[in-house]
Amino acid sequence: MKRKLLVNLFIALVVFPVLFLLKNLKNIVTENYQYYDSYYDSLGSYLKVLIHPLNYPLVPILFLITVLLPFQLLKDWHFKKKNRDMPFLAKVVLLIAIALFWMMLLPFVTIHTFFINPFVSLGIVISCILITFILNVLVDHVETNKI
């Protein structure tokens, strides 16, 4: 139980914001701290500007409550019902479905966003695969080995 809580907090507070920084990874690696038409001297000030749209830690905590909590509850319900772990692909599809459900409820995200820019859909899929992999290795794999 503690492991689930700690891993989910790690994913929400560390991995989730890092996934938003991936589009600026080239600037971070090359030390070109440019955000639109502004230049920044240090990595710290540049990261503050990049993470500011996330309203850190409000949005990661909302991600924890609205996406990761239902995901864990549905996985646990499936485990109790079937007495076996969910397949990895089913976990990925479940996480994508939960994420897309909440994204469709947001007023500024519309369905045409996913069709106009396929990289949005690809980013969501890759992010869900990464998050599911982390949860699978750090939580689910350890729990199934104990049983």
Reported as a single tens digit per residue, the pLDDT across 2-19 is: 889 999 999 999 998 888
Statement: residue 108 has pLDDT above 80: no
Structural domains of the chain, count: 1
What pLDDT, on a 0 to 100 scale, did the predictor assign at position 23? 80
Distance CA 121, CA 58 (A): 24
What pLDDT, on a 0 to 100 scale, did the predictor assign at position 140? 81
What pLDDT, on a 0 to 100 scale, did the predictor assign at position 118? 67
What pLDDT, on a 0 to 100 scale, did the predictor assign at position 27? 86
Task: Identify any residues that bridge with 39 across adjacent strands, giving them in sequence order.
Answer: 34
Segment 19-60, tens digit of pLDDT? 888 888 888 889 889 888 888 999 889 888 888 877 888 888
**Structure tokens belonging to residue 88:** 């990895």
Domain with 94 in it: 2-146
Tell me what the mean pLDDT of segment 95-115 comes to: 74
> Which alpha helices (H) appear in the chain, and where do they start and end?
2-10, 16-21, 25-29, 43-51, 58-63, 69-82, 88-105, 111-116, 118-135, 141-146
Banded model confidence at residue 99, pLDDT cuts 50, 70, 90: confident
DSSP 8-state secondary structure symbol assigned to residue 106: S
More confident: 115 or 74: 74
